[in-house]
């Protein structure tokens, strides 16, 4: 490694140290983007979604989803999003939902068939908002940026030093960056969003045991092709047992909360 590479890597390490944060479950995080950058990106992705997908105009369905979302977002820390939340129901049979930084929530009509009641919908929205509270998209993008920067720095260093088999080394490094650094995030983030989401739904007056029933329902509908929500949110025994283990802690929040009364339309 030449001097220039060493200096670049040291600078990269300093940058990482300067942007270290902690998630609410005590995990160390690297977040290179500011909240306002993230909010802007979230808002523009949401605009794209709204142009691409058909928006539901069914009043009863919209009222139901708004009611559940409102109860959840009331309990989101101001540090995660300070302001109004925009909630849109997409008229699509996709079993899917998402939340984005900048206070954006999207719910697909298809997922309302899997979530049997307000508590299960509370579990879905709680989980999605949990990803936002814990800055998961910031981490994901920071991780991508770092691996690209590191690759560029290492590549530059090797080019300067005329290293033989450079191509081979680079492809090996790329695989490591993808599978060693990026991939495990998926499971870590899902697990964290489950726990944070279960507490959040309970604080918002939704029965936290419904998170367990929801994933059991998801497993049932995933016979055959998995719904979209499942393909990005792998369900397994570990997830259900983690939610079951955490349930007594969430129940404490639930006991102290007020249950909302969101009416699910009968024809869904």
Question: ∠ CA 110-140-92 to the nearest 5 degrees?
Answer: 15
- Least distance in Å: CB of 264 to Zn ion? 22
Contact 81, 132 (CB under 8 A): yes
* Residue range at the interface with Zn ion (CB under 5 A); choices 65-73, 166-174, 204-212, 228-236: 228-236
- The b/e string for 139-158 (b: 16+ C-beta within 10 A; e otherwise) is bebbbeebbebbeebbbebb
Nearer to Zn ion by C-beta: 134 or 190? 190
- Least distance in Å: CB of 265 to Zn ion? 26
- Least distance in Å: CB of 136 to Zn ion? 8
Q: Is 82 exposed, middle or buried (0-12, 13-18, 19+ CB in 10 A)?
A: exposed
| Interaction between residue 264 and Zn ion (CB under 5 A) | no
| Interaction between residue 87 and Zn ion (CB under 5 A) | no
- Least distance in Å: CB of 233 to Zn ion? 5
Pairing of strands 86-90, 97-100: unpaired
Nearer to Zn ion by C-beta: 157 or 227? 227
- How far is Cα 32 from Cα 29, in angstroms, rounded to an integer? 10
Nearer to Zn ion by C-beta: 81 or 127? 127
* Residue range at the interface with Zn ion (CB under 5 A); choices 43-51, 160-168, 205-213, 233-241: 233-241
| Interaction between residue 233 and Zn ion (CB under 5 A) | yes
Beta partners for residue 106, in sequence order: 88, 98
> Which listed residue (193, 195, 202, 240) binds Zn ion by CB under 5 A?
193
- How far is Cα 240 from Cα 242, in angstroms, rounded to an integer? 5
Which of 86, 128, 207, 228 is the catalytic position?
128
Q: How many residues bind Zn ion (CB under 5 A)?
A: 3
Question: ∠ CA 16-19-23 to the nearest 5 degrees?
Answer: 110
Pairing of strands 28-30, 86-90: unpaired
> Is 116 a catalytic site residue?
no
* Residue range at the interface with Zn ion (CB under 5 A); choices 31-39, 67-75, 190-198, 250-258: 190-198
Nearer to Zn ion by C-beta: 8 or 96? 96
Q: CA–CA distance from 185 to each of 30, 179, 208, 261 (Å)?
A: 12, 10, 25, 36
Nearer to Zn ion by C-beta: 104 or 233? 233
Just list the catalytic residues: 128
| Interaction site with Zn ion (CB under 5 A) | 190, 193, 233
């Amino acid at each position: 490694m030449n001097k220039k590479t060493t200096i670049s890597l040291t600078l990269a390490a300093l940058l990482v140290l300067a942007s270290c944060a902690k998630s609410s479950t005590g995990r160390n995080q690297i977040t290179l983007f500011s909240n306002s950058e993230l909010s802007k990106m979230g808002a523009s992705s949401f605009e794209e979604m709204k142009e691409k997908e058909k928006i539901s105009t069914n009043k009863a369905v919209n009222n139901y989803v708004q009611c559940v979302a409102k109860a959840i977002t009331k309990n989101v820390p101001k540090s995660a999003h300070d302001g109004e939340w925009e909630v849109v129901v997409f008229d699509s049979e996709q079993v899917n939902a998402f939340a984005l930084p900048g206070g954006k929530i999207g719910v697909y009509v298809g997922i309302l068939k899997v979530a049997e009641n307000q508590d299960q919908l509370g579990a879905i929205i709680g989980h999605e908002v949990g990803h936002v509270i814990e800055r998961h998209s910031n981490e994901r993008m920071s991780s991508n940026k770092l691996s690209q920067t590191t690759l560029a720095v290492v590549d530059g260093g090797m080019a300067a030093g005329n290293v033989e088999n450079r191509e081979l080394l680079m492809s090996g490094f790329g695989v490591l960056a993808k599978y060693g650094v990026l991939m495990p995030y998926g499971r870590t983030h899902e697990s964290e969003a489950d726990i944070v989401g279960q507490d959040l739904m309970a604080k918002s007056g939704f029965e936290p045991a419904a998170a367990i029933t929801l994933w059991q329902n998801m497993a049932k509908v995933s016979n055959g092709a998995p719904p979209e929500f499942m393909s990005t949110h792998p369900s397994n025994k570990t997830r259900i047992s983690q939610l079951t283990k955490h349930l007594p802690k969430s129940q404490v929040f639930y006991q102290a909360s007020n249950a909302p009364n969101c009416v699910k339309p009968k024809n869904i």
